[in-house]
Chain A
Amino acid sequence: MPLVELKDITKVYGTLIANDKVSLELNKGEILAVVGENGAGKSTLMKIMYGLEQPTAGEIYVNGEKQKFHDPLDAIGKGIGMVQQHFMLIEQFTVAENIVYSKEPRKGMFFDRAAAIRITEELCEKYGLYIDPREKVKNCPVGLQQRIEILKVLYQEAEILIFDEPSAVLTPQETNQLLDTLRTLAGMGKSIILITHKLNEVFAVADRVVVMRHGQVVGNMPIKETNFDELSFLMVGRQLTSTVIPQVEKGEVCLEVNDLHVTGAGSKEAVDGLSMHVDRGEIVGIAGVSGNGQSELIRAITGLLPVESGNVRINGIEVTNRPPRDIRDSGLSCIPEDRYLWGCAREATLEETCIMYLHNKEPLSTGGWLHKNKIHSFVSDTLEHFDVRYTSVFQKMGELSGGNAQKVVLAREVMQHSPFLIAAEPTRGLDIGAIEYVHHALLEKKKSGDCVLLVSSELSEVMSLSDRIYVMYDGKIAGEFTRENAVEESLGLLMMGGKLNEA
């Protein structure tokens, strides 16, 4: 008998069918991966299972008993726990305090701090997930914060753990640790549901995989009986085209950075004497573990962070420390790395998001007056052209899924037809269909004779698209490669701060 069984779950939001008769089984000690594109209904299904949403129709069975979850407490009571994508931790509290929160050990009427620390240590010991119970959460890196979330769920005696895109916020190293943790937990008899769209993680840990598309289950098979191509075909609903790199004649220099120094947070020299250039007709990649000054470099180029010394030229125009608008006027557009911080406002409508920067240019406005009709048709065309799934241009950005929101930001920046585009982590958190789309758009941009600076912590992405690659480490360029001589091992070594032995 399966541990958990979902039968014909249907969830309807207004006119949108998020889940359409979805059935799913989870066995004891099993890692079940649920994959699908953004908006395929994975998260909705898990919210139903965790009691955050009530299904419109369908039944949930745990241990063969029919359940009705009114809220997460009901689900927790049945041993279901969820590790959220966005951590629900109290940053000012210690690790131990966060773990026992809502089920605190008491001594009389007081909180028993010593017991909390003991409990945490026991948990760490039992599951092999070590962490200092006395450390404040705000001092823990993201990977450890996730570990706290996991321990919290384990403390609540969960037998079934749901992980919602757990690797979205992690570095590659942290992701590997997480995958190890998943295997350990499954080995101890816990059942795990892993929601993800990263297929390599699926193949690394899952026993079985369920594929969802448009709210329906389109595949359910043991991992041994499937392969990468089949899964991606099922997820996207079509064959992925292989990327063809167009051959473009290299043009004149577009971006020139000379001996750039930028101070980052905590008065640390984030960019430390960096020089580089990007020529027309090429895609230049910046590879590096995130946090090595890439963000500061981009912000300095786009005018969002002051340049200490050195200079930046775009199309021959000196733009060092100019306001962002002037820099954009000189021929730059930029897909920012954090789409909700820089790329849009969650409360703004799609229309408002799409016209940023273009709003005071012809033909969308004259003399400060917006042309509503032109804006409306421009925005509709743009969104159609970039295949954004939306219901109305008056929808709020916050209502779109991450992938769609990214497409809106991408669409806006590409539609500016500037000669130079910065794409910072353009595919972070996106599913394979959307990633393919973004890559295609970047290559199109190159084909039209423009140039792209691609900054990404996904090495494979940088290597597959770039004509030239800079490796960035500790605010400096650690090495430069052409497409022909880029070897993954050498790049990886430089990214970690190593040195190449020149033969």
Chain B
Amino acid sequence: MKRKDTGRLAALLNTVSLPVIATILGLLLGALIMFLSGHDPLKVYSVMFDKSFINVNYLNQTLTKATPVIMCGISGAVAWRAGHINLGIEGQMVCGGITAIIIGLYMPGPAFLVTLCACIGACAAGALYALIPTFLQDKSHVSLIMVTLMMNYIANYLSTYLVSFPLKDTSSVNANQTMFIDDSLKFTRLFSNGQLSTGFILSIMTVIAVYLVMNYTSFGYESKMSGFNPYFAKYGGVRERRVMYLTMALSGAVAGFAGFVEVFGTKYRYSSNMIASSGYAWTGLMASLVGQYNPFAILFYSIFFSGLTIGGQALQRDFGIPLQIADIITSSIMLFVSINIGIHLFKAGRKQRTEKKEETGNKTPAKEAA
């Protein structure tokens, strides 16, 4: 039993240490930039952290912003750890959001039933939207990365069209947006002040649910092994295509769910560009990569990155420091982490080449014999 504990602890330390180092380096680089631009980094950081994580009102804002980021991060992790580079989380979230608002505005019936249908509809829409590029890759070997990325634009412009014409709230002249959903549909707010709603709890439940699926089901196992080595998975009897479709559907469904929560929990309506301009999907993906696809690490980093943005806004108000400072810090952390990821990829690439060489090595005698 002692064996088990040390092994797990070592593995955990191994996972945690690099992102932490990267975070510290990122903060130091941010400090250097502030110092060079004539600000006291300690003072700036203390305000920044106070007005994001410590002060209750700001913490409320941070967690509200983190809610969709967490789910986008989870969505990314589901696909990426299985080796499918899903860059279309944004588009899938848009599909979920737009489906949720349509059901929320136009479906008659009791509030709980409408909410449930909107939720299921949003997840289904996200999943279907993720399955299109999966199907294209499976049938005609189109690059999943390219198609998922490009489909973000399709989803976003389509949603813009919808809220500008058929779904437009005609009472607002300037903005292209829908009407608000009925008060009975809106998620309960957790505190009297601030926007934080039960949506945050839903995002934590998503984290736990995906953690369970990934670690305690044979689907999660198969999906993980396919990501590690698809040949091994195939040889071991994993139905790799089925796992690929399921994985991408789950990834898309989580993204769609994020869209539903954003509409029903925070914005209550859909205005053009609201998901694309927020960058939730990309922040989430960043959290996912830094957290190395671990759901709980993603939860942590999503909140951390969201807090940096909220704190950054405070800096702009209090010190006149541009919002971009916060961006620089998050980007520096990302930079340091991606150096680490880059090294990993480089190693993986080299390993694959040697493997390939060994394989061709085995084949060469055939040439000689023939």
Contact = CB atoms under 8 A, between A and B. Distances in A.
Interface of A: 86-87, 91, 141-142, 169, 171, 265, 268, 289-292, 295, 302, 304, 323-325, 328-329, 334, 336-338, 340-349, 352, 355-357, 359-360, 365, 368-370, 372, 376, 391-395, 473-474, 497
Nearest to B2: A392
Given A345-B232, A352-B225, A376 B4 contact: yes
B224 A391 contact: no
Contacts of B38: none
A348 B235 contact: no
Nearest to B353: A91
B183 interface: no
A325 B238 contact: yes
Contacts of B369: 289, 291-292, 473-474, 497
Given A291-B363, A338-B358, A395 B221 contact: no
A341 B7 contact: no
A357 B351 CA distance: 25
Interface string B211-234: 000001111011011001101111
B11 interface: yes
Given A340-B355, A342-B232, A392-B10, A370 B218 contact: yes
Given A141-B364, A291-B362, A338-B358, 11 more contacts: A86-B357, A87-B357, A141-B361, A141-B368, A328-B237, A337-B362, A341-B358, A343-B235, A345-B225, A347-B229, A392-B4
Nearest to A342: B235
A292 B355 CA distance: 20
Contacts of A359: 218, 221-222
A289 B365 contact: yes
Contacts of A357: 236-237
A348 B219 CA distance: 16
B221 A355 contact: yes
B239 interface: yes
Contact of B229 (A87, A171, A344, A395): A344
Contacts of B173: none
User: Secondary structure at chain A's binding surface: helix, strand, loop or mixed?
Assistant: loop
Residue in A291, A355, A368, A391 whose Cβ sees the most chain B Cβ within 10 Å? A291
A291 B221 CA distance: 34
* Chain B interface helix/strand/loop/mixed: helix
Contacts of B235: 302, 304, 324, 334, 336, 342-343
B139 interface: no
Nearest to A398: B351
Given A392-B10, A497-B369, A356 B229 contact: no
Interface of B: 3-4, 6-8, 10-11, 216-219, 221-222, 224-225, 228-229, 231-239, 351, 353-355, 357-359, 361-370
Contacts of A324: 234-237
19 contacts: A87-B357, A141-B367, A142-B364, A169-B361, A292-B365, A325-B237, A338-B359, A341-B232, A342-B232, A348-B225, A355-B221, A370-B216, A370-B217, A370-B221, A391-B7, A392-B3, A392-B6, A393-B3, A394-B11
B7 to A, nearest CB: 3
Given A290-B362, A291-B362, A393 B7 contact: yes
Name which of A302, A304, A360, A365 has the most chain B CB atoms within 10 A of its CB: A360
Given A291-B362, A357-B236, A365 B218 contact: yes
A392 B5 CA distance: 9
Contacts, number: 136
A372 B212 CA distance: 12
Contacts of A91: 353, 357
Nearest to B366: A291
A232 to B, nearest CB: 27
A360 B351 contact: no
Contacts of A392: 3-4, 6-8, 10
B82 to A, nearest CB: 12
A408 to B, nearest CB: 12
B215 to A, nearest CB: 8
Contacts of A304: 234-235
Contact of A356 (B11, B225, B351): B225
A99 to B, nearest CB: 18
A466 to B, nearest CB: 21
A100 to B, nearest CB: 21
B234 A290 contact: no
Nearest to B354: A86
Nearest to A325: B237
B366 to A, nearest CB: 3
A394 B363 CA distance: 34
Contacts of A171: 365
Nearest to B220: A370
B355 A341 contact: yes
B362 A346 contact: no
Given A141-B364, A291-B364, A355-B221, A169 B232 contact: no
A290 B365 contact: yes
Among A289, A302, A369, A497, the one with the most B-chain Cβ atoms within 10 Å of its Cβ is A369
Max chain B Cβ within 10 angstroms of own Cβ: one of A336, A391, A393, A394: A394
A329 B239 CA distance: 13
A474 B368 CA distance: 11
A89 to B, nearest CB: 9
Contact of B228 (A87, A328, A342, A347): A347
Nearest to B235: A342
Contact of B216 (A369, A393, A474): A369
A443 B271 CA distance: 71
B363 A369 contact: no
Contacts of A268: 366, 370
A346 B217 CA distance: 21
Given A169-B358, A392-B10, A356 B216 contact: no
A240 to B, nearest CB: 29
A171 B353 CA distance: 20
Q: Select the residue from B8, B232, B233 with max chain A CB neighbours within 10 A.
A: B232
A207 B303 CA distance: 66
Contacts of A290: 362, 365
Contact of A360 (B3, B218, B354): B218
Contacts of A346: 228-229, 351
A356 B237 CA distance: 8
Nearest to B3: A392
B80 to A, nearest CB: 14
Given A169-B361, A265-B363, A342-B235, A368 B219 contact: yes
A368 B351 contact: no
A393 B11 CA distance: 11
Contacts of A365: 218
A45 B364 CA distance: 32
Contacts of B6: 391-392
A357 B232 CA distance: 11
Given A142-B364, A291-B365, A393 B4 contact: yes
A447 B114 CA distance: 65
A344 B231 CA distance: 9
Nearest to B228: A345
B7 A395 contact: yes
B173 to A, nearest CB: 53
Given A291-B362, A391-B3, A497-B369, A369 B217 contact: yes
A228 to B, nearest CB: 28
A43 B76 CA distance: 40
A309 B228 CA distance: 33
Contacts of A497: 369
Nearest to A146: B361
A355 B238 CA distance: 12
Contacts of A328: 237
Contacts of A265: 363
A313 B369 CA distance: 30
